[in-house]
A = this chain, B = another copy of it.
Amino acid sequence: MLPTPPVTIRDVAQAAGVHVSTVSRALDPRRRAGVSAEMVELVERTARRLGYRPNRAASALRTGRTHTIGVLVPDMTNPVFPPILQGVEGCAAARGCFVLVANASDPAMAMGVVERMLAQQVDGIVLATAAREDPLVDFITASGLHAVMVNRADESGRLPSVVSDDRLAMKLAVEHVLRTGCRRIAHLAGPQHLPTGAGRLHGFEQALREAGQSAAGVETCESYSREAGRSAMAQLLARVGKRLDAVVCCNDLVALGAYDALRAAGLRIPEDVSVTGHNDMPLVDMVNPPLTTIGLPHRELGWRAAQLLFERLDGTSLSPATVVLRPELVVRASTLALRDAAAMAAPRA
């Protein structure tokens, strides 16, 4: 395999007997207008014949656009991110753009990655990082880089974002367990420094309030993990005893941790306590019992974020700065079908 020198626009021009600029125009759909049909035809045929492939690096240098966007995720192995990434990638690919993916588990690291992405001349960036990183947002706005956040809102309001409606999600979960006759309802909340953690707690409280109820207990998890869920649930049980009808969890993994702690305490799910999760991770329909949870449009979240970004890049920013997508309740066996007739008649407040 001898390294064939790549075919340039000049080779095409020469072979077609025209000038390079003509080739450049004929090959660009957006400027093809000012070129005769035969010329376009001739140039395209010649280009194809020679196996010409436009050099994006050269075009990037000239135009300042790389047709590349960056995506920052905290942890790709967290199952919420692949579908988001897929959405972003799908939208980008549909426009002939590529996606530069980088892991950035902490804010300091994220800053370095953005710095490198800036050097790489990305056209824009999608932030799927979970923490509230004001310095990062400061840095990005100062740099002038186009950015969109996904899966969390920018509290400072400087960056557009695409999120799921956490309030509505909690309302769906709370109303569901209320409907099945549960009255003593607790919440295992996510880390309060994460927007989803704070938002879902708030939504939980509001939903209960609207129903004229109050929380049977709230425990905060240290992270979105099964272990954190287990120990939070254990603490909750230690505090409120077994006087509990349902536990609404901030996250599926936390809910599975709650399973562990509830069982360790000799409680059955859902006969004694109903449990709900959040995210509808793969396989939560396979655990025992299958988990009632909140399904999020992760793929669409990613797609819309990319779309929002491209609209900014094109200067046709018609969409609102914050897009809120609707989550949906996915009922499975971890919540009771109906607690019992007596409970429905005289709910235990």
Known: A76-B85, A77-B82, A119-B54. A100 touches B99 (CB 8 A): yes
Q: What per-residue 1/0 map shows which CB atoms of A110-137 lie under 8 Å from chain B?
A: 0001011111110000000000000000
Chain A interface SS verdict (over half): mixed
CB–CB B1/A100 < 8 A: no
A93 contact set on B, CB distance < 8 A: 102-103, 113
Tell me the complex Cα distance, A61–B59, Å: 9
CA distance A304 to B181 in the complex (A): 54
From B54, B86, B115, A76 is in contact (CB under 8 Å) with: B86
Q: Let me know if A300 is at the binding interface, CB within 8 A.
A: no
Give residues of chain A (263-316) contacting chain B, Cβ–Cβ below 8 Å: 281-284, 286-288
Q: A88 → chain B, closest Cβ, in Å?
A: 10
Q: Cβ of A90: which chain B residues have Cβ within 8 Å of it?
A: 103
Q: Which residue of B lies closest to A51 (CB)?
A: B143
In the complex, whether A101 has a CB less than 8 A from a CB of chain B is yes
Contacting residue for A286 out of B53, B56, B85, B283, CB 8 A: B283
- A256: B residues at CB distance < 8 A: 283, 286
The yes or no answer to A83 lying at the interface (CB within 8 A) is yes
- For A284, what are the chain B residues with a Cβ–Cβ distance below 8 Å? 283
Identify A56's interface contact among B79, B121, B283, CB under 8 A: B121
Within the assembled complex, what's the spacing in Å between the Cα atoms of A68 and B98? Answer: 11
In contact, B68 and A77 (Cβ under 8 angstroms): no
Q: Does residue A3 face the partner (Cβ distance < 8 Å to B)? A: yes
When distances are taken between beta carbons in the complex, the residues of chain B under 8 Å from A121 are: 55-57
Question: In the complex, which residues 48-105 of chain A have their Cβ closer than 8 Å to any Cβ of chain B?
Answer: 53-58, 60-61, 66-68, 76-77, 79, 81-83, 85-86, 89-90, 93, 96, 98-103
How far, in whole Å, are A141 and B2 apart by their CA atoms in the complex?
Answer: 11
Chain B positions within 8 Å of A54 at CB level: 119
Chain B residues whose CB sits within 8 angstroms of the CB of A286 once the complex forms = 256, 259, 283, 286-287
Cβ proximity bits A207-232 to B, threshold 8 Å, 1 near / 0 not: 00000000000000000000000000
Complex CA distance for A57 and B60, rounded to whole angstroms = 6
Chain B min CB distance to A194 (Å) = 20
Give every chain B residue within 8 A of A113 (Cβ-Cβ).
93
8 contacts between A and B (CB under 8 A): A56-B119, A57-B121, A76-B83, A79-B79, A89-B101, A98-B117, A282-B282, A283-B284
**Extra A-B contacts (11), CB below 8 Å, given A4-B144, A79-B79, A281-B282:** A55-B61, A55-B119, A56-B121, A61-B61, A76-B86, A76-B89, A89-B102, A100-B101, A259-B286, A286-B287, A288-B288
